[in-house]
Amino acid sequence: MLSMRGIQKIYRTDLVETHALHEFSLEVATGEFVAVMGRSGSGKTTFLNIAGLLDTFDGGKYLLDGEDVSGLTDREMSRIRNHKIGFVFQSFNLIPDLDVFDNVDVPLRYRRLPAKERKERIERAVELVGLTARLHHLPSQLSGGQQQRVAMARVLAGDPKLILADEPTGNLDTMMSREVMDLLETISTRGTTVVMVTHAPECAARASREIHLLDGEVVDLAVAPGEVRVRSVSANLASVLA
Amino acid sequence: MEFGPILRSMRRNKVRYGLIVLEIALTLAIVTNCVSLIRNAQGELSTASGFDDANLLNVRSQPFAPEFKEAGYQNNAVRQDIEALRAIPGVKAVSNTRFLPWQGGGSSTEVRVAGSKDPWLRSQIYNADEGTLATLGTRLIEGRTFTREETESETARLAALLGKSRETGADGTPKDKISQDVVISRALARLAFGEGSPLGKRFEDSDGDQYPVVGVIDRFYNPYGWPIHEYVMFFTGTATSYIGGTPFLVRTEPGSLDRVKAAIEKRLVEVNGGRNVTVRSIPDIKDVFQSQQRLLLRVLTAVIVLLLFVTSLGIIGLTSFSVAERTRQIGTRRALGAQKGDILRYFLLENWITTTLGLSLGILLAVGLNMLLVESLKVKRMDLSLLAGGVLLLWAAGLLATWFPALKGARVAPAIATRNV
Amino acid sequence: MFLHNLHIAWKSMRRNRVLSALIVTGIALGIALSTTFGAARHAFARDPIPAKSGVLHYVRLDNWDPAKAYPAEGKSPLPTQINYRDMVEITKSKIPVRQTATFKTSLYVFPDAKAGRPFKEMIRLCFADFFPMFLVPFQYGSAWDAKADLAAEPVVVLTKSMNERLFGGGNSVGKTVRLEDRDFRVVGVLADWAPGIKFYDPTQNQLGAPENIFMPFSHFIPMKLRTFGNSDGWGPSPATRGFEGTLVSEQVWIQMWAELPDASAVAAYHAFLDAYTLEQKKHGRFLRPVNNQLTPVLPLMDEFKVVPKETSVLFIVSLLFLLVCSLNLVGLLLGKFLARAPEIGVRRALGASRLDIFLQHIVECELIGLVGGLIGLALSVGTLSLLNTYGKTIGARPDFFHLDAPMIGLSLALSLAAGLVAGTYPAWRTCQLPPAIHLKVS
C-alpha cells in the first residue's frame, strides 16, 4: 500500500539545514494497522505529512497504492488525498461553522459526487460512529470524543484505502480514547490500511506493528511486515459493520 | 456548488457579514445617487444657449460726463459706438441690448394672451435692435426682425409716452394703451399659442399694454432664477441711461475674440472719453456662472472614488481576516482534497453572496435616498440603468477586492492541518 | 489604568502596522470628508454676528396684491423689502433702541486726477445706527451722527480698501471725496470688516463683500437715487412716474432693521406695526390680512436660503461616508481583537475582569479614532483650500471655507464617535471570550 525508499526531507532556513527525514524507508502492506512512535522532533509529523501528500520530499521514492507520487502536481496530489486517503487529526480539525452533516460532507463535495449519493454516504458514516442524533449539531456543541468520531465519520464517508491518524487520542481522555481506538481498529479489520502516529504506548499496542522513529530514521521494526494481528472488536461495532 | 454550506456558515457569523452587507448597501446608495446628481449637473452644464457663445463679448460703457444725461446726446453716442465697434477688424455683428447670456438672470415680466383670462405667463424680456439676432447667432424662423430706423423711432415714441403721467381709467390701468411689436422664442410661442403660427397674435400685460408678435426665433436658452429659461420677448429700443450705462453685445469672427476684446476699450474711449468701458467675454461669464456646478461635479466625483476605495479596503480587510482566521480550516480542506481553485472559489462565492445581499438592500436604500434628493433638490429621478450599472460595478469591485486575499488563502499549505496549536 | 490602557493600545497599533494603517486610513478619509463638508456648510450657516443675532430684527410688512400673495415659499409669504412711504412712517417709532433703513446704489467716484480715472462704485445708504447695530469696526473716526441723517449732511464712511484706493491709506478723516457732482467729507474709515455672509442685505448676492462707501439714507431724495438691488411691485403702473413716483408707490426696495433688546420690545414693536397697518387700511392700503414680520438674523438666513441645499446634502452624504468607514472598522477591529484571543485568555486568567478587557479595547478604538481624526483634520485643511481655489467665485473672502474652533470640535467629536461606533461591538465580543479554552489550547 505504502512504500517509501530513502525519503529525504530537509528544512532550510538562512542559517541551518535540518534533516527531518534521513534516508527514510518503510513498507506498509494493504490492510496493515501500523503505529509510528517516537519523541517530539523525531520526524513523526514530517513522515505523516509526506505520507499523506500534505508536503513534498527532497529525495527518495514513494509509491502509494502502487503509484509513484514524486513530482505530482498540486492538483494531482489533492485528488489522491481526496480519493485514497483519510485523515484523523489530533485536534479533530472540524470546521467550526459547519454542523456534523456539513463537516462530513466536505471531502465528498470535492469529489463532485451527486447530492443523493453524498447524503447516503454521510448518513451511513454518521450512523457508524453512532452520532445520528447529533447530525445537525455544531462541533462546539459536542464533546472531544464526539468531535473525533465526527472526524472519523468524515473519513469513513470517503471510503479511503489509507487512513493516516495523527495522535488521534492526543486531546482525549481515557474513555474517549478507547472509543476512538475501537473505531480505528474496526475500520482496520475491514481491510483499510491504517497508519497512526502516536506516543501513547497503550494505543500503539492496538496496532499490528509498531515503528519507532529517531532523528528521522526508522530504528526498530517490532513486527515483520505482512503479518497482521487482529484483535477482538467490541460487539456493537462488529454488528454495525456486519 | 457549495452554496448551502457557505450560506449556513455565514448565518453563524451574522454580525460580521451583516456589516459588509450594510456597507455595500450604503455604498451603492451613495454612489448611484452621486452619479445621478453628477448627471443632473452635467445636463445643466452642457445645455447649449443656442447662441454663438464662444465668440461673444459683453461691452459696458458707463458714462460720467454730464452731457450723457441728455437723451439726444446719449442716443447719438449709442449710434456712434455701434459704428465704431463694427469698424474694428474681426467684428462680425454688434447689438445694443440689455440681454446678457449666462449671467444667471436678466429681466422678466408677466403677460397673457391678449383679451383672454388665461393665467399670467412669466417670460424674459429684453430690448433688441437690428443687430441682435445676427449678434447672438440665433435664427429667425418666421416673420421679421427690427430695423435701425424702427429701433430709433420706437425709442423716441416710448420716451414721449412714458415721460408724462398716464391717466388711469376705472380699472386702475392707464386709459391709453401702448402697443409694442415683439419677436419671441419658439418655446414661448408654443406655450402661449400652441402649434400654429403666432404671427399677428398679441400678448397683454397688467397695464393692458399690447405686444403683437411679429417674429419668432428658433432657439433661446438663458438660465434664470425661475423656470423660464427658454421664454423670451424682444421689443425694439435703445438700451442706454446715464445711471445704468450702455451695454453692447459684440460677435467676433472665430479666433479673433481676444484681439477684439483687447481693442475695444481703447477705441470707444477714443470716440468719447467721458466714460469708462469694461469688456468681458461670454465664455468668462459662463465660466463664473457654472463654477458652482462644476465644483459640485468635482466634489461628487471625488466622493465616489473615495467611497469605492474605502469599501474595497473594507472588503479586502474582512476577507484577509477571514483567510487568516481560517488558515487551519483551509489546511484541513486542502488535506481532505480541496484544490487551490476550490479554496479560491469558496472565498469568491462567499463574497459574491455577501455583495449580492448588500446590493439588494442597497437598491432599496438608493431609491429611498433618491426620493429624498428629488424632494429637496428638485433634481430628476434616478435612471434605473444607473442602478444596474452600480450593481455591476460593485460586483466587480467586490470580486477584485476578494481576489488577492482569497489567492493568499489558496496558497495555504495543506500541512497546516497537522500542526497542533 | 487609563494611561496603561493607552500604552497597550499604542503598542498594539504599532504591532500590526499594515492593519493599523488600513484602519486609520479609513477613518481619516471619513473624518476628512465629513469635516470638509461640515465646514463647507458651516461657512454659509455660521452666525455672522453671534453677539447680536438674536436682537437684530429684519422688518417686513405685507402691502402686496390682495389677489395673490407675494411669490415666495413659506407659510405666510410677504414682500422681502418695504417701500419708501412706510419706511418714513415706521422709523418714527421710538421702540427700537437702534434702527436703520438701507439700500445700495451705484455712483461714480471721482478721485484726485493723480489717483486715476473716475470709477463706478456700489454705495450703501443707511442710518447712523447701522454701524453700532451691526458692530462695524472703525479704524479712524466714527460713524456720522443722527443730525447728519436728518439734514442729509455730505458725509461718508469708507472701507479700509476704499481708503487705500482713494488716499493711499492713513487717517483720511476730514478729507473730501467727490461722488457724482457733490463733495462728501470722510468722517470714518472702517477697520477690516469681512462678514462671510452679507447678512444685513439678504435679498441679493448674500456672499458678496460689503459695499465700500456708506452715506446717510437721506441723500436719496436730493440726489434722486435709485436702488441697484431688487425692486418688486404689483398691479398697474403708478400714475406718478419717474423719481416722484417712487416716493409714493407700493414698489418695495428698502431693507429695514430694528434692534429690539428683549421680548417685550419685540412685542411692543410688533403691536406698533400692526396698529400702523390697521390705520393704513382705513386709507385703502394694506389690502391683505395683517401680516407684519420681525425676523432675527438666523431665521432670516434660513428663510433666504443662505445655505445652499447642495452643501447640506453633501454633508449628509459625508456622514454616511463616515458611517461606511466605521462599519469597515468594525470588521477590521473584530479581526484584530479576536486574533488576540490567546493573549486575552492569559490576561483573563491573570485576573483581568471583563470590564477591564472591554475598557482596554475601547481605549484602543478611541485612540485609533483620534489618530485617524487628526490625520483627517489635517487632510481637510487641504481639501478646504482646494474648495476655496475651485470655488473662488462663491464667497468674497479668499478663505471663505475654513476651519474654526466649532468645526475642529465637531471633527474630533466625530472621530471619537466613529471610534466608539466601530469599537463597541468588537470590544464587547472580545471581553466575552472565556479565559479557559485559550489557556488549554496554547
Query: Confidence band (pLDDT; 50, 70, 90) for B106?
Result: confident
Q: What is the pLDDT of residue B318?
A: 78
For the stretch B126-147, what's the b/e string if a residue is b when 16 or more beta carbons lie within 10 angstroms of its beta carbon?
A: bbbbbbbbbbbbbeeebbebbe
CA distance A213 to A22: 11
Q: What is the pLDDT of residue A237?
A: 47
| CB proximity B158 to A under 8 Å | no
Radius of gyration for the alpha carbons in chain C, expressed in angstroms and rounded: 30
Pair type for strands C176-179 and C182-190? antiparallel
pLDDT in tens, B10-29: 888 888 788 889 989 999 99
Query: Confidence band (pLDDT; 50, 70, 90) for C294?
Result: very high
Q: What is the pLDDT of residue C435?
A: 64
Q: What is the pLDDT of residue B310?
A: 85
Residues of B in contact with A98 (CB under 8 A): 5, 8-9
Average pLDDT over residues C307-330: 88
Query: Which set of grid coordinates corresponds to residue A176?
Result: 474517549
pLDDT-wise least confident of A11-25, B179-193, C197-211, C361-375: A11-25
For the stretch B380-408, what's the b/e string if a residue is b when 16 or more beta carbons lie within 10 angstroms of its beta carbon?
A: eebeeebbeebbebbbebbeebbbebbeb
> Cβ–Cβ of B336/A82 closer than 8 Å?
yes
> Cβ–Cβ of B310/C321 closer than 8 Å?
yes
Non-local (6+) Cβ contacts of A105 within 8 A are A98, A118, A122, A157, B5
CA distances from B216 to A241, B122, C213 (A): 100, 17, 45
Question: In sequence order, which ranges of C391-404 are alpha helices (DSSP H)?
Answer: none
Percent of chain B with pLDDT over 70: 99
Query: Confidence band (pLDDT; 50, 70, 90) for C277?
Result: very high
| CB proximity B117 to A under 8 Å | no
State which residue of chain C sits closest to B30, comparing Cα positions. Answer: C317
| CB proximity A8 to B under 8 Å | no
> Cβ–Cβ of B9/A95 closer than 8 Å?
yes
| CB proximity B371 to C under 8 Å | no
pLDDT in tens, B272-307: 989 999 999 999 999 888 888 888 888 889 888 988
CA nearest neighbour of A143 among A156, A158, A131, A157: A131
Residue B127 has pLDDT above 90, yes or no: yes
Residue B50 has pLDDT above 60, yes or no: yes
Non-local (6+) Cβ contacts of C10 within 8 A are C367
CA distance C254 to A232: 112
Average pLDDT taken over every residue of chain C? 89
The answer to whether C430 touches C338, Cβ cutoff 8 Å, is: yes
Q: Exposed, middle or buried, C315 (CB in 10 Å: 0-12/13-18/19+)?
A: buried
Residue B137 has pLDDT above 90, yes or no: yes
pLDDT in tens, B310-342: 888 888 877 887 888 888 999 999 999 999 999
Average pLDDT over residues C232-257: 85
For residue C182, the cross-strand partners are C179
DSSP secondary-structure letter at A216? T
CA nearest neighbour of C288 among C57, C89, C58, C60: C60
| Residue type at position C58 | Y
Query: Confidence band (pLDDT; 50, 70, 90) for C436?
Result: low
- B residues 131-170 closer than 8 Å to C (CB): 162-168
Residue B397 has pLDDT above 80, yes or no: yes
| Residue type at position C401 | F
| CB proximity B9 to A under 8 Å | yes
> Cβ–Cβ of B413/A138 closer than 8 Å?
no
The answer to whether C51 touches C36, Cβ cutoff 8 Å, is: no
CA distances from B285 to A39, B105, C229, C323, C393 (A): 88, 12, 20, 40, 11
Residue-level length of chain C: 442
Average pLDDT over residues C181-199: 93
Average pLDDT over residues C139-143: 96
State which residue of chain B sits closest to C231, comparing Cα positions. Answer: B107
| CB proximity B411 to A under 8 Å | no
3-state secondary structure of B233: strand
CA distance C123 to C106: 6
| Residue type at position C289 | P
Residues of A in contact with B331 (CB under 8 A): 93
Q: What is the pLDDT of residue C440?
A: 41
Residues of B in contact with A111 (CB under 8 A): 337
CA distance C420 to C169: 54
Average pLDDT over residues C57-69: 91
Tell me the HSE value of B87 on the side-chain side, using a 13 A CA sphere: 9
Q: What is the pLDDT of residue A220?
A: 58
Q: What is the pLDDT of residue A226?
A: 44
Q: What is the pLDDT of residue A139?
A: 93
Residues in chain A, pLDDT under 70: 220-242
CA distance A180 to A174: 10
> Cβ–Cβ of B310/C30 closer than 8 Å?
yes
Residues of B in contact with C310 (CB under 8 A): 296, 377
The answer to whether C259 touches C133, Cβ cutoff 8 Å, is: yes
> Cβ–Cβ of A55/B5 closer than 8 Å?
no
| CB proximity B336 to C under 8 Å | no
Q: What is the pLDDT of residue C139?
A: 96
Percent of chain B with pLDDT over 90: 59
CA nearest neighbour of C340 among C81, C13, C40: C13
For chain A, list the contacting chains (3+ Cβ pairs, <8 Å): B
Residue where the block lists cell 429684519: C58
State which residue of chain C sits closest to B314, comparing Cα positions. Answer: C328
Pair type for strands B121-128 and B202-204? unpaired
> Cβ–Cβ of B19/C320 closer than 8 Å?
no
> Cβ–Cβ of B337/A111 closer than 8 Å?
yes
Cβ atoms within 10 Å, residue A40:
7
| CB proximity B321 to C under 8 Å | yes
CA distance C330 to C182: 72
> Cβ–Cβ of B162/C394 closer than 8 Å?
no
First to last CA, chain C: 27
**B391 CA to chain A: closest CA distance, Å?**
29
Residue where the block lists cell 427658454: B230
> Cβ–Cβ of C335/B20 closer than 8 Å?
no
The answer to whether A43 touches A21, Cβ cutoff 8 Å, is: yes
| CB proximity A132 to B under 8 Å | no
| CB proximity B332 to A under 8 Å | yes
**C42 CA to chain B: closest CA distance, Å?**
17
What is the number of CB-based contacts under 8 A between chain B and chain C? 146
Residues of B in contact with C235 (CB under 8 A): 172, 206
| CB nearest to C327's CB, from B19, B207, B276 | B19
| CB proximity B261 to A under 8 Å | no
State which residue of chain B sits closest to C205, comparing Cα positions. Answer: B104
**B5 CA to chain A: closest CA distance, Å?**
6
CA distance C20 to C7: 15
The answer to whether C417 touches C329, Cβ cutoff 8 Å, is: no
DSSP secondary-structure letter at A162? E
Average pLDDT over residues C123-137: 97
| Residue type at position A147 | Q
| CB nearest to C239's CB, from B22, B168, B296 | B168
For chain C, list the contacting chains (3+ Cβ pairs, <8 Å): B
State which residue of chain C sits closest to B19, comparing Cα positions. Answer: C327
> Cβ–Cβ of C339/B292 closer than 8 Å?
no
> Cβ–Cβ of A102/B5 closer than 8 Å?
yes
CA distance A62 to A60: 7
What is the number of CB-based contacts under 8 A between chain A and chain B? 95
The answer to whether C313 touches B376, Cβ cutoff 8 Å, is: yes
State which residue of chain C sits closest to B369, comparing Cα positions. Answer: C317
pLDDT in tens, A186-207: 999 988 999 999 888 888 899 9
Q: What is the pLDDT of residue A236?
A: 44
State which residue of chain B sits closest to C236, comparing Cα positions. Answer: B207
Residues of A in contact with B334 (CB under 8 A): 54, 78, 81
Q: What is the pLDDT of residue B145?
A: 94
- Please state the φ and ψ torsions of residue B251, each to the nearest 5 degrees: -105, 130
> Cβ–Cβ of B337/A91 closer than 8 Å?
no
- Please state the φ and ψ torsions of residue C213, each to the nearest 5 degrees: -135, 135
- Please state the φ and ψ torsions of residue C251, each to the nearest 5 degrees: -60, 130
Q: What is the pLDDT of residue C58?
A: 97
CA distance A87 to A84: 10
Average pLDDT over residues C321-343: 83
| CB proximity A106 to B under 8 Å | yes
CA distances from B230 to B71, B125, B170 (A): 33, 11, 36
Residue C64 has pLDDT above 70, yes or no: yes
CA nearest neighbour of B137 among B112, B166, B98, B101: B101
Q: Which of A36, A106, A136 best probes binding to B when mutated, by most B CB atoms within 10 angstroms?
A: A106
| CB nearest to A110's CB, from B8, B329, B338 | B338
**C428 CA to chain B: closest CA distance, Å?**
13
CA nearest neighbour of A165 among A139, A216, A213, A200: A200
Residues of B in contact with A105 (CB under 8 A): 5
Non-local (6+) Cβ contacts of B194 within 8 A are none
Residue B84 has pLDDT above 50, yes or no: yes
Rounded to two decimals, the ipTM of the complex is 0.86
Q: What is the pLDDT of residue C441?
A: 39
Q: What is the pLDDT of residue B1?
A: 55
Non-local (6+) Cβ contacts of C252 within 8 A are C63, C79, C80, C81, C82, C83, C231, C232, C233
**B398 CA to chain A: closest CA distance, Å?**
23
> Cβ–Cβ of A110/B334 closer than 8 Å?
no
State which residue of chain B sits closest to C37, comparing Cα positions. Answer: B299
| CB nearest to B16's CB, from C29, C240, C331 | C331
